[in-house]
Structure 1
Amino acid sequence: MACHLPADCLDEIFEYLEEDKLTLHSCLLVNHLWCEISVRILWRNIWNFKRLSRKRSLRVSSSILSTLVACLPNESREILYKNEIFLSTPTSKPPLFNYASFCKVLSICRINIIVEDVLKNEPSSVNCLVTNEIIKMFMNQIYALKKLNYYCNQYTINLINFSFTYFPGAKDLSELYCSSNLPSNFFHQLSQICHNLQSISIDFHYDVSNGLKELIFLQNNLKDLTLSAFDYVSWENIIPAITKHSQTITKLRLYSDNELPFSFVGSFSNLQEFIFSFSDGSSFEDFKELQYVNFSKLQILKIPLQCPHPDYVKKFLEINGKNLKKFYTDENDKSLNLSIAKFCPNLTSLFIIFNKGEKDILKTIFNNCQHLESIKIWGGKEYLTEKEVFEIVVNHSPKSFCELKMYNSSVSDVFPKDLESFFINWKKRIPKKLLNLIIIKEFHFNMENINIIEKYENLGVVKFEIKGYEEEEDDEEEVYSFL
């Protein structure tokens, strides 16, 4: 019965499975129509696979590369043949689909990585030629590119031949992730055909070219901007081009290994999300100015790594805290934590650090923030213990609460009887909610506790997950290294 559904109906159903790669792969085997729809979705962003292990990553990379080689036009095959480059393909027959045309996301750096992984024993000239022919094929075949990822080091830039003169599909580009050290003519060419970028992420290297400034300035509706500057490189030269979009940008992320100017943010009156992470921001003089600015639409504020002086942040929360939905900070300051309870009553998600003996502050936050759904707490010997957190969560968290994230670098102090008591009491809460319990990295549970967790998972009381710290940072978009 399902195979007789019309294609447009199947299309709509399969769109809901975009993130469920396993189910989509199973649909490949039903019939040709199901296969075509599934392949089109799977190849929309073929680069979005997790590099879980070296062996598995190499297997996936080999599969992608061999499929792309099979799709190469005859002209490219001839070029490879004349250079004595012979690459295997999945089958001697022509591919079932023109896979390259399905792509909406193009990652130049991931193509380069895949080629280097698979052809690691080949000279760099061979890798370069294969990479360029694959890129050329994408440029000819993609009719509506949505996202371009082009982070490259200086060596790679000199090897890759990329020109928008022959890339008409780039006119629909909405997301650009790039390095600032790309040739100026690359940005100039892109600025001639693409004026509707909504999201730009720039990894700064060396000086900022006029082409990049021109590209940013010419956009019509830029909403999302990420600036990452390390090795003491500055984004200062690009600020005038950025402030032209102060009324349209709603999401801003600033990452650096030193303190860079960011008082320009004060003019971004429609800002909804603001993340800034400076590993050396000892004075935060610019935030001293921003503490008095009213961002009436701000809902998300994240300050990983170093935090400005707590007094500055408290003043900022006094003015802007009422609208905040998410607030994350690595600062462990008692007065700042109390100001969160006082000025941020509508929070739904919070990451905060409590020092040892600050149980009453956590209780106050729960009592004052009645919309809180999720909290991430850093525990350990110098901080609140997980046993204390469990007791406060079950007795004082609001009815909306359903997710607890715990990071603890020391051995767990929770005894099996305490853990079971926590789950029993959570089960009795009204309204009944499944608790998402996420343990981050070095939190050490013994097997008895693991068995208790599994017991209450089976009873539908808790959903348990262990994450690496980096994986958790990825989920919260707090990392500042991009592929």
Structure 2
Amino acid sequence: MSYQVPVECLNEIFEHLDDKKTLYSCLLVNHFYCKISIRILWRNIWRDIWCSRFIMTYNQFLRVSSSILSTLFACLPKESKELLFKKGIFISTPTSKPPMFNYPSFCKVLLIEKIFLIISVALQKIPNTKNRNYLVINEVIKMFITQISSLKELSYSYYDDTYIMDSDDISFTYFSGATDCLTNLSKLRCSLSLSSKFFYYLSKICHNLQSLNIVFGLGITKVPNELKELISLQNNLKDLKITAACSGDWKDIIPSLTKHSNTLTKLHLNNVFNDNLSVSFIALFSNLQEIKFSYSTRNFGEKQFSDFEKLQNVNFPKLQYFNIPYHCTKPEYVMKFLENNGKNLKKFVIKEEDCALNLSTAKFCPNLKNLSIAIRCDELDTLRIIFNSCQYLESIKIWCGVRYLSDKEVLETIAIHSPENFCKLKIYNDSLSKSKLLPEDLESFFISWKNRPSKKSFTLLINKTYSSSSISLEENEECMKIIKKYKNLGIIKKFETKFREKI
């Protein structure tokens, strides 16, 4: 007699599948497995497609965009199809039969600008494309709004890459059903370019945002009062990201954030082509657990945040994650900040190539579990000191290359000096580096790792830029034989080499 696993058990199992390929394979098992997998895959169908587009050719992305659009078109209600057909827009569907599932109803995430780009790409050969793009996107969004019972995440920005979207031509908040769909929205990404009516509408119905991502600038610097009202009305805002692009400045919005001084736990400030933005207001949020700074700049070498000096003596008793990029501020300010806040840090990302600052990490951050760091080629002792001082360290991300330590030096140091719980290494190869690892070096390292008392499997991840001249281990047959050997023995948990875009 056959036995059917209860749907609750399968749901729980499928939810914990990390590999999307496995979920896709489950689609083919039977209708029962297919239904559960489809619900999970369509929850955020845009995420995996968007991550994959950077390794797709344009023609591949065009095929994917057309495939998604044809599926969405098949799900459109009859009246929407008839409207588009009258306007000369006909999109072929995968089959002549009705869709097996109501795919839009499974979505919990809407990325409006991504949907717009997919439609723009898929319909680019149709004449009068701009107006027809908006006709299609309005009908598609209307379908999502009426079919999704409770949207969790919304991203709505006016542009993406070379496709500029006019938000005034999208009637997003005025579709019937939008109120029910958006009431429990918990994550919002938006830009100042959106109509003030959009922010006004959300301020009336969305009071449970936990994550807010706002893009300032791009030609618009005035913060709408409706956005300030939306921010002030949130009940439990925890996660805030602010991007100031070009002439944008976040100072006008700071008074609206003060209400959330007790609830805000994550803050990410991103400076894009701006100079000397103020960050001292961070002192208002004493309960922060995560602080991240990032930037792009026209004036490389300049200090990007004008008043970080005022933060060096501020205490954040709950801070566990701190990320500060290269030339963000003076190293001595960061060292003083670590002296006051390093004890509780579990994760630290530092890209400043400063020996004293790296050594202060070892001195002031004894409880680190994850560290990302750049150590110059003549400072190998710094890595040894960090390993000896940070006895809870589990993983490290480290630059390797001409100016930095070699991958061979890093592995040798890990084999001898890494603490008991250490088990993960991620190497960033710079654009000029060539790997110095030989098969015998790998063999020696994994023999040492096998004999460690902890018996933890090792994870090795290697990233290199597209312009890198380095030869990856995957291209070295002898090295790959060793990798395979120790994978089979359970010594290696995961090995991966992949490209990343040059920073």
* Pairs within 5 Å for 1:218-367: 218-257=233-272, 258=274, 259-280=276-297, 282=303, 284-367=305-388
Closer/same/farther in 2, CA of residues 383 and 102 from structure 1, 3 Å limit: closer
Q: Which runs of 4+ in 1 moved over 4 A?
A: none
Give the CA deviation at 1:94.
1.9
Question: 2:481 and 2:425 mapped to 1: Cα distance?
Answer: 19
Q: After the TM superposition, which residues 45-444 of structure 1 pair with which residues of structure 2 at under 5 Å, given as runs?
A: 45-49=44-48, 50-51=52-53, 52-54=55-57, 55-122=59-126, 123-153=129-159, 155-164=165-174, 166=176, 167=178, 168-205=180-217, 206-207=220-221, 208-257=223-272, 258=274, 259-280=276-297, 282=303, 284-409=305-430, 410-441=433-464, 442=468, 443-444=470-471
Is the 8 Å Cα contact of residues 223 and 250 (structure 1) preserved in structure 2? yes
Aligned to 2:240, the other structure's residue is in SS state strand
Give the alignment's Cα RMSD to 1 decimal: 2.0
Paired with 1:2 and 1:218, the residues of 2 have a C-alpha distance of 54
Contact 1:45–1:105, Cα closer than 8 Å, also in 2: yes
Question: Which residue of the other structure, out of 483, 492, 499, is the alignment partner of 1:453?
Answer: 483
Q: Residues 52-88 of structure 1, C-alpha deviation per residue, up to 9 Å, x if partnerless?
A: 3134333332222111111111221121121121111
Question: Per the alignment, do residues 39 and 383 of structure 1 end up closer, same or farther by CA in structure 2, a change over 3 Å counting?
Answer: closer
- 2:213–2:241 CA contact under 8 A, matched in 1: yes
Q: How far off its partner does 1:99 sit?
A: 1.5
Provide closer, same or farther for how the CA distance between residues 355 and 190 of structure 1 changes in structure 2, counting only shifts above 3 A: same
Structure 1 CA distance for aligned equivalents of residues 416 and 241 of structure 2: 40
How many angstroms apart in 1 are the aligned matches of 2:91 and 2:73? 7
Distance 1:121 1:419, change over 3 A: same
**1:36-57 deviation line (CA, Å, top 9, x unaligned):** 2222222111112222313433
**% identical aligned pairs:** 55
Unpaired stretches in structure 2, ≥5 consecutive residues? none
1:267-304 deviation digits (Å, cap 9, x = unpaired): 11110010012345516442101110110000000112
Deviation, structure 1 residue 31: 3.4
Q: Name the structure 2 match of 1:36.
A: 35
- Aligned-pair CA distance for 1:173: 0.3
1:415 to partner: Cα distance: 3.2
Is 1:468 the counterpart of 2:499 in the alignment?
Answer: yes
**Following the alignment from structure 1 to structure 2, what is the Cα–Cα distance between the partners of residues 450 and 30?**
33
Distance 1:408 1:33 in 2: 45
- The residue type equivalent to 2:11 in the other structure is D
> Contact conserved, 1:188 with 1:215, CA < 8 A, in 2?
yes
C-alpha displacement of 1:361: 1.5
1:119 Cα offset (Å): 1.0
* Aligned partner of residue 46 in structure 2, secondary structure: coil
2:24 is matched with 25
Q: Give, in angstroms, the shift of residue 22 of structure 1.
A: 2.3
User: Which consecutive residues of structure 1, in runs of 5 or more, have no partner in the other structure?
Assistant: 474-483
Question: Structure 2 length as normaliser, TM-score?
Answer: 0.89
What CA distance in whole angstroms lies between the structure 2 residues aligned with 1:460 and 1:12?
A: 27
Q: Matches of 2:341 and 2:460 in 1, distance apart? A: 30
Classify the secondary structure of the residue corresponding to 2:428: strand
Which residue does 1:480 correspond to in 2? Answer: none
The farther-off stretch of 24-33 and 193-202 is 24-33
- Are the aligned partners of 1:197 and 1:222 in contact in 2 as well (CA < 8 Å)? yes
Q: 1:138 to 1:284 in 2, by over 3 A?
A: closer
Equivalent-residue separation in structure 2 for 1:393 and 1:70 (angstroms) = 55
Q: Which digits, 9 at most, give the CA deviation of each residue in 1:232-266, with x for residues without a partner?
A: 31112111112221111101000013231111110
Summarize the Cα distance change of 1:127–1:347 in structure 2 as closer, same or farther, 3 Å threshold: same
Q: Secondary structure at 1:308's aligned position in 2?
A: coil
| Distance in 2 of aligned mates of 1:423 and 1:83 | 65
CA distance in 2, matches of 1:196, 1:452: 52
Which stretch of the first structure deviates more once superposed, 280-289 or 246-255?
Answer: 280-289
CA displacement 1:356-394 (0-9 Å, x = unmatched): 221222111111100001111212232222222221110
Counterpart secondary structure, 2:235: coil
The separation in 1 between residues aligned to 2:4 and 2:422, in whole angstroms, is: 44
Q: TM-score, normalised by structure 1?
A: 0.92
> Is the contact made by 1:279 and 1:306 (CA closer than 8 Å) also made in structure 2?
no
CA–CA separation in structure 1 for the residues paired with 2:327 and 2:30: 55
CA contact (8 A) 1:278 1:305 kept: no
Aligned length: 471
Query: Which deviates more, 57-66 or 449-458?
Result: 449-458
* 1:454 shift after superposition: 3.5
* Maintained 8 Å contact 1:307/1:329: no
TM-superposed deviation, 1:197: 0.2
Deviation of 1:165 (Å): 5.9
